[in-house]
Amino acid sequence: MPVVNRIAGYAEEMKAWRRHLHQIPELALDLPKTAAFVAERLREFGVDELHEGIAQTGMVAIINGRGEGPTIGLRADMDALPIPEETGVDYASGHAGSMHACGHDGHTAMLLGAAKYLAETRNFKGRAALIFQPAEEAIGGARIMVEEGMMERFDIGEVYALHNAPGLPEGHFLTTPGALMAAVDTFHIHIQGVGGHGAMPQETRDPVMAACGMAQAIQTIVSRNHHTLEDLVVSVTQIHTGSTDNVIPDTAYINGTVRTFNPEVQKMVRRRMKEIVAGQAASYGVEAELDYEIGYPATFNDAEKTAFAVEVAKEIAGEGHVVPDGGREMGAEDFAYMLQARPGSYLFLGQGSTAGLHHPKYDFNDGIAPVGASFFARLVERAQPLGG
């Protein structure tokens, strides 16, 4: 069975929904226009319950099947990114400085397509809980929804999500059981020295040299402190200091990201970074403060639920178009919080050869929306079949 016929018939509607959402990108938890549009569509479809205001602008729609049964959760993220758009399309962002550069407009359209189908047909037992989530790109809207008791409130037993994947052939699926995406932490280092004339460095305590020393020493965490078989990335991504050629500044700032899978590796990185910052500060005669922020946890797919999701994906895309064990990557995803709360799986859906995610010329491929919507719908029908 390929794309569900009825959902294929929604293709133009899904395209229109997606392109409308593309024009109104909103950030983090503040998604009033997006949430209003999604809620209006869900009411039109005739969902049985619509619970708004979860994590500020998130919502959960409940669709009842025919007969008693468990509740399966399907999630789409809705937020955009603070990136000026350069696509040149006639439905480009109407909000200057923001755009849907990660395809969350498409994810939302796919879940709306599944919602319309499930509300019409109801060929399943139990309930489907459709989760429309804000703030995936920042803050962690999934964490907030879980902390607000969403899983318990709606008795969700398992949960699934999709993300589009530029570079993966159009309509193909890829996932892996177990660790799929990394935990992400952020570090900030604030260095306080004593500035002065560039020609008289002996009268200063130079924060520029201290920042260079710290940035280089931090790289030894990967090369000298961790086991080579444990995936780890430590990247210094910003150094800000100084304003002109003949002045040694008072301060410097370092920022970067850490990606891990193993909590013990994460602890080691945090410990070593504290030691390096303190040691380098002492050696250069400056003061330094490390602010190490624990971010999204690693995304772990339940093995059993992933095997089930792979079978559904093969039904939609075909046996040869699904990669069931595609390995893990160092990107991060806040759906990890939902997978910590309930078993489930996260899959990538190929959107072909397009600009990459978070690129100003990225645009979601509307051609894959019926594929994703069909996947969501068949997950529900196969997980909770009538007569099963």
Tokens describing residue 176:
């892996």
Number of domains in the chain: 2
CA 342 to chain centre: 17
Residue 22 annotated as part of some ligand binding site? no
Q: Are residues 37 and 95 in the same domain?
A: yes
Q: Are residues 121 and 40 in the same domain?
A: yes
DSSP-derived 3-state class of residue 87:
coil
In this prediction, residue 388 carries a pLDDT of 61
49 inside domain? yes
Residue 102 annotated as part of some ligand binding site? yes
Contacts of 338 (CB under 8 A, 6+ apart): 73, 75, 131, 142, 145, 146, 151, 159, 161, 344
156 inside domain? yes
Q: Are residues 56 and 165 in the same domain?
A: yes
Q: How far from 275 is each of 68, 190, 218, CA to CA, in Å? A: 57, 15, 10
388 inside domain? no
Please say which residue of 280, 295, 310 terminates a domain: 295
Q: Are residues 13 and 94 in the same domain?
A: yes
Q: Are residues 212 and 118 in the same domain?
A: no
Q: Are residues 172 and 189 in the same domain?
A: no
CB atoms within 10 A of CB 94: 12
72 inside domain? yes
Cut 0.85: pTM above it: yes
CATH code for the domain in which residue 363 is found: 3.40.630.10
CATH code for the domain in which residue 201 is found: 3.30.70.360
Residue 137 annotated as part of some ligand binding site? yes
Residue 40 annotated as part of some ligand binding site? no
Q: Give the integer Cα–Cα distance in Å for 100 and 355.
A: 13
Please say which residue of 236, 263, 295 terminates a domain: 295
262 inside domain? yes
In this prediction, residue 2 carries a pLDDT of 81
In this prediction, residue 230 carries a pLDDT of 87
Q: Are residues 263 and 166 in the same domain?
A: no
Q: Are residues 285 and 376 in the same domain?
A: no
Q: Are residues 117 and 87 in the same domain?
A: yes
Residue ranges, the chain, pLDDT below 70: 1, 388
In this prediction, residue 387 carries a pLDDT of 80
